[in-house]
Amino acid sequence: MKIVLLGAPGAGKGTHAQRLKVDFQIPHISTGDIFRANIKAGTALGVKAKGYIDRGELVPDELVIDLVKDRLAQKDCEKGFILDGFPRTIHQAEAMKQFVSVDAVINFILKDEVIIKRVSGRRVCSCGETYNTALLNGATTCAKCGNELYQRADDKEETIKNRLQVYYKETSPLIEYYKNNGLLLDLDCNDRSIDEVYSDLNAMVKKL
Ligand code: AP5
Ligand code: MG
């Protein structure tokens, strides 16, 4: 099954993709994670992407589209995949149509004030797990691998606000776009725990 997770920064795409990946045995492809790995490794792509990410802007389409096309052509994507953070512009969606058809686009719905709170409290591990200070009970290491948790460089309050503005301007038009294509499924994430949201998401994906 080939699915896209669409939603504002901090809506919970990565958290829930990690669970889908285990339950449905398909790869979780996060363009944000790919960029961050490239920045850490100091690759040419990482050097080009860093400034945009640090400012909370989108990386230019031409740096993202071929990257995703190449990733989806790999063998582990034959059975399906979870795309997290792509497409993020109408141009990216149009480009994607040329190399893959997806089964559904799941739209994570969450209020802005909750988003800002969640992103400010987010802590991540190098193994890919995501946590929140609100649920960590003071723990500073990953429950899965024991590594030290850290805060993402773009999770500062002023950057989060910019990312939200960019989301409304550049990415939210995709909601209408995929509604018109008959692919959009809404997932209400307001006032609901990770387990509650995941239970709905899992049921949605099982029906595809
Ligand atoms: P990316 O890494 O994709 O960031 P993002 O879209 O801003 O999304 P986040 O990762 O911040 O949020 P999320 O929805 O994954 O939420 P999470 O699960 O962590 O992209 C980073 C940057 O890369 C972009 O700004 C851009 O520059 C660039 N980029 C990437 N893709 C691009 C593209 N296609 N084109 C151009 N540029 C691109 O959850 C957030 C927090 O909430 C966590 O702490 C979690 O524990 C908590 N949480 C989640 N659900 C719940 C719940 N139900 N209850 C309580 N807490 C919850
Ligand atoms: Mg994420």
Q: Which of 152, 161, 179, 192 is catalytic?
A: 152
pLDDT at 128 over 90: no
pLDDT at 153 over 90: no
Taking residues 12-38, report their average pLDDT. Answer: 97
Residue ranges and CATH numbers for the domains of the chain are: 2-111+155-206 (3.40.50.300)
14 lines ligand 1 (CB under 6 A): yes
83-122 residue pLDDT tens: 999 999 999 999 999 999 999 999 999 999 999 999 999 9
* pLDDT given for residue 117 in this prediction: 92
In angstroms, what is the span from residue 132 Cα to ligand 2's centroid? Answer: 13
Say what the pTM is: 0.96
Tell me which ligand sits closest to the C-alpha of residue 35: 1
Please give the full DSSP string across the chain, using - where no structure is assigned. -EEEEEE-TTSSHHHHHHHHHHHHT--EEEHHHHHHHHHHHT-HHHHHHHHHHHHTPPPPHHHHHHHHHHHHTSGGGTT-EEEES---SHHHHHHHHHH---SEEEEEE--HHHHHHHHHTEEE-TTS-EEEHHHHTT--B-TTT-PBPB--TT-SHHHHHHHHHHIIIIITHHHHHHHHTT-EEEEE-TT--HHHHHHHHHHHHHT-
* pLDDT given for residue 158 in this prediction: 82
88 a catalytic residue: yes
pLDDT at 157 over 90: no
* pLDDT given for residue 139 in this prediction: 96
* pLDDT given for residue 156 in this prediction: 87
Tell me which ligand sits closest to the C-alpha of residue 13: 1
Q: How confident is the model at residue 191 (pLDDT cuts 50, 70, 90)?
A: very high
pLDDT at 133 over 90: yes
Taking residues 58-64, report their average pLDDT. Answer: 96
* pLDDT given for residue 54 in this prediction: 93
In angstroms, what is the span from residue 101 Cα to ligand 2's centroid? Answer: 22
27-48 residue pLDDT tens: 999 999 999 999 999 999 999 9
In angstroms, what is the span from residue 78 Cα to ligand 2's centroid? Answer: 23
pLDDT at 170 over 90: yes
